[in-house]
Amino acid sequence: MNRKLTRKLNVGGVAIGGDSPISIQSMLNVPAADVDGNVRQARELETAGCEILRVAIPNQQSVRLIPAIKAATTIPLVADIHFDYRLALESVEAGIDKIRINPGNIGSDDRVKAVADACRSHGVPIRIGVNSGSLEKEILAKHGGPTAEALCESAMYHASLLEKYDFNDIVLSMKSSRVDTMIEAYELASQACDYPLHLGVTEAGTERMGLIKSAIGIGSLLQRGVGDTIRVSLTADPVREIVAAMDILRALNLRSGVQMVSCPTCGRTNIDLIAIAGEVERRLDSCKKPITVAVMGCAVNGPGEAREADIGIAGGNGVGLIFKKGEIVRRVPEDRLVDSLMEEIESL
């Protein structure tokens, strides 16, 4: 993987861009008026592994969320702001670590300058978040719709408004609900600038389809070396976004942890492999060891096909084999198979 080196920014102690690890983001979905609920969910997301957290700031009253959340967690906080530049200024004063705003939507040049100056003086980066529904009428007319070219042009236009006031601590996102459009837009932006890129498929859907779209869109870009931070958007508990993001990064070997492989079963399978694989996956959920674990249905697909696994199990007739790097270690009864596997993993 030949990763493009972008500018490196600091978001409340977490680096984005350059050779920094790909960071995982999510967003609170509790109503802004519920301070306690937002704090509670922020803690849950931090525990789940969220590394940068966004919160909607729709009005002046919601600015109080910033100190409340920051007092209860250690992860950087991003204020999501639309149209009202004063909310950006108040969020900066309240201790926010990053602003998400589109400079072209907040009014006159003096307002853009005020936000740029405030963010510069406090060391607060700005993410420009463009999506299919936020494109300027002129750009839509020029490109005939929310195309990849339109998304990229809009993002670069908004960046130029900040550049005019010597502000370059910028992260760009160009999200679309169409996976192919999203991929192409980020590829164009990667060629056009060296700003860090925040990857995501917007309005991706429920957990089932949203996960598939995000894995294709985010995963294919990361595999090509494009992207510096990610958010998997799901119509679900945001904790599920963190789980999905970690799985995508682990699948690309961009995040250490357990890699589990398992076969789809066939007529040779004589153990309840589906149930066993599910239990192994659940019990490995908190394991941080950088190992590959195989759960295979028979001796054909076990030590042979999965010989590259650090450790694995293969089913027999009510009996299972435990193997390491293709070599059989021992045989155990089916009802002891998972426990025995976990004991072996603990000893690694």
Whether residue 133 has pLDDT greater than 70: yes
pLDDT in tens, 26-74: 999 999 999 999 999 999 999 999 999 999 999 999 999 999 999 999 9
Angle ∠(327,330,333) on CA atoms, nearest 5: 135
Whether residue 79 has pLDDT greater than 80: yes
The pLDDT of residue 132: 84
Whether residue 254 has pLDDT greater than 90: yes
In contact, 264 and 236? CB cutoff 8 Å: no
Mean pLDDT (the chain) is: 93
The pLDDT of residue 297: 83
71: Cβ–Cβ under 8 A, 6 or more apart, which residues? none
Measured in Å, how far apart are the chain's first and last C-alpha atoms?
28
- Higher-confidence position of 15 and 268: 15
Whether residue 119 has pLDDT greater than 90: yes
| DSSP characters over 46-95 | HHHT-SEEEEE--SGGGGGHHHHHHHH--S-EEEE--S-HHHHHHHHHTT
The pLDDT of residue 334: 84
Mean pLDDT of 210-230: 97
Mean pLDDT of 243-265: 91
Nearest to 88 by CA among 60, 130, 52: 60
The pLDDT of residue 302: 66
If pLDDT is split at 50, 70 and 90, which confidence band does 129 have?
very high
Give, as one character, the DSSP assignment of residue 335. Answer: G
CA atoms of 309 and 311, how far apart (whole Å): 5
In contact, 213 and 204? CB cutoff 8 Å: yes
- φ/ψ (deg, to 5) at 126: -125, 130
CA atoms of 219 and 89, how far apart (whole Å): 35
Mean pLDDT of 190-214: 95
pLDDT in tens, 261-317: 898 888 877 788 899 999 999 999 888 889 999 998 886 666 677 778 899 988 877
C-alpha torsion angle, residues 176, 179, 185, 190 (rounded to 10): 120
Block residue for tokens 């519920």: 34
Mean pLDDT of 100-123: 93
The pLDDT of residue 268: 78
Counting runs of H as helices and runs of E as strands, what totals does the chain give?
A: 11, 15
